[in-house]
Every structure is written in structure tokens, then in C-alpha cells.
Structure 1
Amino acid sequence: MDQDAADALSTEDSASRAGTDETAVRAGMLAETAVHAGILDETAVHAVLARVLLDGRVPAGTKLGEHFLAEIFGVSRERVRKVLHRLGHERLITVEKNRGAFAIAPDLGEARTIYEARRIVEGGIVGHLATSLDAAGEARLAAHLAAEEAAMAAGDRFTSIRLSAEFHTILADLTGNVLIQRQMQELVARTMMLVAFFEPDASVACQCAEHRAVFRALAARARAPALRAMTTHLSLVETRLRPRVCDAVPPPLDEVLRDALATWRAAQGSCGPTTRRGRGPDRSSEAL
């Protein structure tokens, strides 16, 4: 090999290494940008959508298009699809084959049947726990009630609804019976949107007080008072559900979602931009 050829190969090799280094630097910069931009995972997208749905900010029947949501959140359609299926499983939306996902239209007419089922099932749960609740379970319930009261004091209706539902699933969990746990998850899921749409905001304080009454009876290991407190609570929730007389014209869905996303990011302490509109879905998020 002559000197000119050797020099040419050396130059090519140097250029190749420089190109590789530049690619690595650019990849690092993109990764850093993604972190600072607050690219969302499925849990985050789910949290934002669940909040606006349970806050009643999305009119019943509103289509939740994958492409539209992917653009708002800056994630892929595949990620959005997974979140929508999860929300459908939780009965926060309806997912229809070949049509897509839609904001649910809660049926107040179902309330009597659902709450009757809950009184039967949950009466049995508290009757069982009145004689089997241990100290760890009692402490878990006490901590949960403290969280409920903190959410009420903060005026956070979304968190209040979520924690109120969790109070009942925790009771089922404390039985240690998997079948009862699954049954309660189904019943609670069917009532969350009823409460979100039809129960007045002021009822949060009532829910907390009624949960506290159930807890006091369980802490005293008093079976009859626990059963009475639970059935009374569920009956009162049912009677507090009222049809909406007149809804104000809601803002556009993209405005609702951007506002909720900004609120979520502020709560997470993120300083990144709240949207990536106009750029299309961010395929790099699939690696998260």
C-alpha cells in the first residue's frame, strides 16, 4: 500500500469515528431533551385522562380519537390505545369495536340496582371484618381516612372521588378473599362515574363522615353498628345522586386536556413544555 492510499484510509477512518461520535452526541442530546420535555408514559397519560373524566369535564359521548390524543400528549398512538383500553376496563369510558373510544354517559337509572348489590356485598364485608380486622388493617384504614380528609380540605374533588372508591376496595382487600376483591372492583368501577356526574361537590364532606362512622364501628369490633353504618352510607350516596338540570357549554376538548396536562406537570415539578402540537406523535417515547 503506497503512502497516498494509507493517508486516504486514515482520513476515512477519522471521518467515520467523528461521524460516530457526532451521532452519539446527538443521541445524548435528544435523550436529554426528552427528559426535560417531560415525555409522558402510560401512567401519566392515564392520570390526566382519568382526572378530566372524573371531574366531569368531558361531555358524554365525546369521541376520544387516538390521533388527536397522541398529538396532545406527544406520544404514539399505540401508547394512547393502551391507555384507552385501560380506561375502558375501569369503566371510565366506552370502547366500541370499529368505532373507537367515547366519554361514557352514566345511566342514573342503573343506580338502584348497583347500590342494592353493593349493600348486600359490603354488608357482608364489614360484618366479616368486625370480627377479623387486625391492627395492621385498622392502621391502614386510619391512614386512608386521613388522606380522604386532606383531599377534602384541599378541595380536590378528583382525588376525593378516587380515595372514596378506594376505601371500599381496601375493605374488600382486608378480607383476603380474591373473589370478593374482584367483585368489589367491578361494583366500585360501575359507580365511580355515577358519583362523578350526579353527586354534588358538597357531598364530599358527607362521604368522609360516613366512612369515619364505618371505621369507628370496625375499630370497636361492633358487627351490628358496622353493618348499619355501611348500609346507611351506601343508601345516602344513592339518594344524593341527582340528574343534571343544565350543563354549561364546555370548552373545547383540546383546551381541557392542555389545562389538565399543565396542572399535572406543575404537580410533578416539571418545567418542560406542556404540548408538542404540530410535530405529530413522538415515536421516541415508545422506548420508555
Structure 2
Amino acid sequence: MPPPSLTAANDRVAAAASAANGHAGPDARRRAGKGKKVHPLPADGAAMGDGAGGERLAGGRRPMDWLSPAGVAGILRRHPLPALFACGLLLFMGVEYTIPMVPAAAPPLDLGFHATAAMHAGIAARPWLNSLLAALNTVFVAMQAAYILWAVLAEQRPRAAIATLMMFTCRGLLGCSTQLPLPAEFLGSGMDFPMGNVSFFLFYSGHVAGAVIASIDMRRVGRRRLAVLYDTLNLLQFVRLLACRGHYTIDLAVGVGAGLVFDMLAGWYLDSKNIDSGDNRCCSSCQKALVSQKLTS
């Protein structure tokens, strides 16, 4: 009589051979199928993609199944944000055909101006307050510039500086290409940036975009509290520019998007130069130049 260990080994070999031949016992089949998610075939038994059964999606669903009440409910449950945007699309498709256009002789319609009408009246009645807010805003712009210069000069992280150069160049091109009229209620100040109450009304807001670029860079290196401070000051700047009629609402909203877009473009540029825009302190071409200088010296 063979020992128990040899008998157990023979049983395992026999079970493996039986499973390989498609004759696994019920216990083996249960173990093999455990943990696997099985999608049952449709009632007609047609395979996925079978022409006789119609085109099917993953899981055996037909495309029209998504239009059923259960399918729509599933989409709303799993993808609420795209569903919200789809509702917005339908809403504004109707708005486009029904909203009256502003007459040529009338001033532009800006809902942000209406929302800040009371604040505008208060600032207009107090010129000293207008100058104080303008001075504080100029200090914030200087803070943005100081941080971006520190990042590129002291920390040798050029991404924010490259994004800012791209952003202001594009802003100048767009602002000169299509010039919107200066609001009749504009409250200028000699303390505003640019200093001296010179014209700065260009599409889009460089004030807002620069703050966004600095905030993104702060988050990239883990300075989250400083980024929250800049975001808060940027929001206050947003409201102040509206109240003083320094920008239209669309200028400020696009300024936020411009900061995001040009930071991304600067990252792509640095990636194309084989530069790690996060931790590396210098680009590959600069490193080669430094190495060559050391070799020649």
C-alpha cells in the first residue's frame, strides 16, 4: 500500500489532468470559477458582435439599451458630471435661439457689473478707498512676480516663468486683435498696476492668470497653504476688478483658463526638452553647458 503522501500527490496529478481535458469535478470547477465575474449571454444566445444578434457593447448590451430607463439611470449614477454638461448643452442651445442681442448703440451687458453695482457705487463715492484697493492689488501682483522670479532664479524651476511669458505674449496679441470698449464706469487709480493709471484693459486678465500660474506651481511643490492664500487673494482681486470696472467678467473667467492652459503648455515644452519640470533644477541643455564649462576650465 503506497504511503498517504504519494496517494495525495497522485490525486493532485489526476485532478490536474482531468481539468486539462475539460472533465474537472464540481469542486474543481467551483474553485476555478471563484472570483471570476461572468456576464451571462443574452436570451437569444447570440455572441457579442454577432451580426445575427445585432451589434453589442461590452457585457452583451445593445447600444439602444443605454436609452432605456435603467440605462439612463445608470449613466446618471456613474457619470453625473458629463450628464450635467449634457443638460447645459440642451439649455444653452435653447438660449442661443431666444436671447435678445444687445443693440449696437447700447453698452455691453455684463452680469458681473450688475452683481457688483452696490460695491461700485461705494468705491466711486470714496476715491481714497479706490486708491487703497488699487494699491493692495498692486502689492498682490508684485507678490506673484516675486514668487515666479524666485522659482526660476533661486530654485531653478522655470515652468512658471515660461508659462507667464507665454500668457502675457498671447494676452497682448489677443488684446490688440479685438479691442473691447473701456466701460463708461471705469474707476482708474494712479496706484493701480501698471502704475500711473495707464491703460491696462486688454483681453484677458493678466492679473488673474498670473495668480493662477503661481498657485499651480505652489501646489506642484507642496506649498498648499500658500496656494490657498493666493487663491483667496485672487478671488478678492476678481471682485475688485469687477467693482472698479477694470475688466469684463469674461476677461476674468478666461484669465483663470489661461493660467491653467499656459501652465500645461509650459509643462509640454519642458517635457519636449527632456526636463523634469518638478524636481530637476536645470534643463538638459543647461546641464551640458555647465559640464562643458567645467571641462574647459
For the criterion TM > 0.5, the same-fold answer is no
- Judging by fraction of residues, say which structure has more helix: 1
Q: Based on CA coordinates, which of the two structures has the bigger radius of gyration?
A: 2
With the length of structure 2 as denominator, give the TM-score of the two structures.
0.31
With the length of structure 1 as denominator, give the TM-score of the two structures.
0.31
